[in-house]
Structure 1
């Protein structure tokens, strides 16, 4: 396959390296970045998931330090994506995030987290319904941070209020929600109805969203504002087996689906963006130009604010 410069806005780890690990070393991170580039992904946002505030701040500072001190890392990790802790604690919506560490959004806590990223915070995923008067969304957008809804169940009014305050994206549509939803008025339908205001991210592995549903979602959201992400964890690039994500044991099956140890829910993915590109071409039937729009052009536009 021709080598393209894929851009992934949601990478929790790669090649056996967990970006959320308190034992993460500079050399491990450098090796993961080299492997990402060798396998076709040129730029990523390193994703830190929900934990207690002190742990998230510590990990953000560590990542920022590694990025600033290593050209090999800096050319690949172009920023940090904070996925939480301002998400929904409700079963299903919280997904694989530790519910005990979830907290309502507040400007004070957001400032602490952003400061810990030392200028490298690019994206924050939060639940609009837990951001009173969209104050935190407004603050983050004013700081130049992309604000994305995710692991959430906002009403249409909540989405509109947040969008007016600067919300501009939705994180991995069709995931971070219960297996069973109300027939019509559900988070997927609400987001698709607001796709003219939100860039909508999706995981194109055929597991998080079956390919037939992904095709429907892409048609509804429109290719102009849709972004494909991997949501890759440390297992990505390693094959089937057992791995760890932020202290949780994760099982990767023969189809590269990534499950919690009890197989009750998915935990990230073992997908790479080059594989997602292939899936968009071969399983969804997109042209090369359209598949590149979702994996290169649109994520670049989001990062550049265009």
Structure 2
């Protein structure tokens, strides 16, 4: 793909509301200076960083055979949503299917330099999760299993060392040892799809677990008033938390509480699946089998409407939702989907819209409560442009 390099981008700073000119040199922001206001200026912000992408626009990263062309096509679709970095997410499946998906993704990244700039690693969600109905979510119970370090090393070899985040449940007997080994080798560990008790969660945090994956989801429909694993994770100050802000996975009241509790440690994640951007109807999917996508944008299991089967909305739509519902202001909502996940992964983009930071930018406008991306920039090069 031929890339257009930019030297100057003008727009309204998403944090301050001030019109600025961003000067770019060698893929980095060299300087940001104030300019005169113009009614035609778009907004400027750091590009989105999504820690959990299962698929999008008809492409399922967990449906084999998977090709490098499919991964690149999905990536291009995400550029149109303002995404400048993301973690392809491989979920619970057979040992062989997980290995094959990891191998294809790693090979595609290795062969395409542009993909390597966009994909800083892979997220393995499962199969080391709770086997219980509810916490397991729509993951196939036939493949759920306890943490296995030898098996994980096999998968990490297939991924050429690119597995960067693992979501598991610490309720398994050997989970703490597994977490410690992951952390020692530079792999971040998240708690998710769990039925773990208070002490199991505390032990996981002591061992190095640092994140809650889509907190409040992948849970029993009914929980004890207290204690329970949602309160326990909220109370762990060392745990950051991702949330799905699509209006279906969490009620507004819960989002409000999570945001108040986690403050700067709250992040957004899309958990988007292949039906993202698709038409309402009934579908057959890898995760969940028969699912229904409603006209309102809710994706649930056909036989169990109370169980969701992932999200069909992107980070752009989640940020729009939080702002529209007045759960937070634009700067906070955007940071939860950009600089905070970048900081969690240790990416240079954690500096955001600042001199010296990578020129990873989203240029957008706000229309009728919706954010519309019309230019996505990675290291000063235009990846997507419309209108």
Give the TM-score, by structure 1 length.
0.94
Judge conservation of contact 2:147–2:175 (CA < 8 Å) in 1.
no
Q: Is the 8 A contact 2:258 2:266 kept in 1?
A: no
Which of 211, 216, 240 is matched with 1:174 structurally?
216
CA separation in 2, counterparts of 1:237 and 1:190?
A: 35
The structure showing larger relative contact order (alpha-carbon pairs under 8 Å, at least 6 residues apart) is: 2
Please identify, of 3-12 and 119-128, the stretch whose mean Cα deviation from structure 2 is larger. 3-12
Match of 1:69 among 108, 111, 133: 111
Other structure's SS at 1:147 match? strand
Q: Does residue 156 in structure 1 map to residue 198 in structure 2?
A: yes
Bigger Rg over Cα:
2
> Following the alignment from structure 2 to structure 1, what is the Cα–Cα distance between the partners of residues 310 and 267?
16
Question: Post-superposition shift, 1:174?
Answer: 0.7
Relative distance call for 1:117 and 1:141 in structure 2 (3 A) is same
Looking at structure 1, the residues matched to 108 and 193 of structure 2 have their Cα atoms a distance apart, in angstroms, of 28
Identify the residue that residue 100 of structure 1 maps to in structure 2: 142
Q: 1:286 Cα deviation (Å)?
A: 1.0
| SS in structure 2 at match of 1:100 | helix
Q: Is the 8 A contact 1:234 1:244 kept in 2?
A: no
TM-score by length of 2: 0.75
How far apart are residue 77 of structure 1 and its match? 2.5
Aligned counterparts of 1:32 and 1:15: Cα–Cα separation in 2: 7
Does structure 2 conserve the Cα–Cα contact (< 8 Å) formed by 1:106 and 1:131? no
Q: What's the secondary structure of 2:50's corresponding residue?
A: strand
Change (3 A) 1:231 1:27: same
Greater Cα shift, 102-111 or 89-98: 102-111
Instruction: State the SS of the aligned residue for 1:129.
Output: coil
Task: Please report how far the alpha carbon of residue 78 of structure 1 lies from its aligned counterpart in structure 2 after TM superposition.
Answer: 2.4
Paired with 1:165 and 1:285, the residues of 2 have a C-alpha distance of 33
Unpaired runs of 5+ residues, structure 1, are: none
The answer to whether the 8 Å contact 1:92/1:177 transfers is yes
What count of residue pairs does the alignment treat as equivalent?
Answer: 304
The answer to whether the 8 A contact 2:62-2:91 is kept is yes
The Cα of 1:3 is off from its aligned counterpart by: 5.8
Q: Which moved more, 1:22-31 or 1:289-298?
A: 22-31
Q: Out of 230, 252, 259, which is 2:270 matched to? A: 230
Q: Which runs of 4+ in 1 moved over 6 A?
A: none
Q: CA RMSD in A?
A: 1.7
**Where is the strand percentage greater, Structure 1 or Structure 2?**
2
Residue 240 (structure 1) aligned to one of 280, 283, 299: 280
In the aligned structure 1, how far is the partner of 2:67 from the partner of 2:155?
21
Secondary structure, aligned partner of 2:121: strand
Aligned equivalents of 2:110, 2:209: Cα separation in 1: 28
Q: Which residue of 2 aligns with 1:272?
A: 314
Selected match of 1:214 from 231, 249, 255: 255
Cα distance in 2 between the residues matched to 1:91 and 1:15: 29
Q: Is 1:135 aligned to 2:177, yes or no?
A: yes
Could you list the per-position Cα deviations for residues 115-173 of structure 1 after superposition, in whole angstroms to 9, with x for gaps in the alignment?
22112111000111115260110111111111001000222211121111111111001
CA shift in 2, pair 1:69/1:129, >3 Å: same
Q: Hey, what's the Cα distance between the residues in 2 that align with 1:251 and 1:68?
A: 36
SS at match of 1:68: helix
The residue number in structure 2 matching 1:32 is 74
Runs of 5+ unmatched residues, structure 2: 1-41, 351-387
2:328 to 286, 294, 305: 286
Secondary structure in 1 aligned to 2:338?
helix
> What's the offset of the Cα at 1:244?
4.5
Question: Which runs of structure 2 are paired with 1:109-120 in the superposition (5 Å)?
Answer: 109-120=151-162
CA shift, 1:290, in A, is 0.8
Verify the 8 A CA contact 1:131 1:137 in the aligned structure 2: no
Residue 304 to residue 243, structure 1, CA distance change in 2 (3 Å): farther
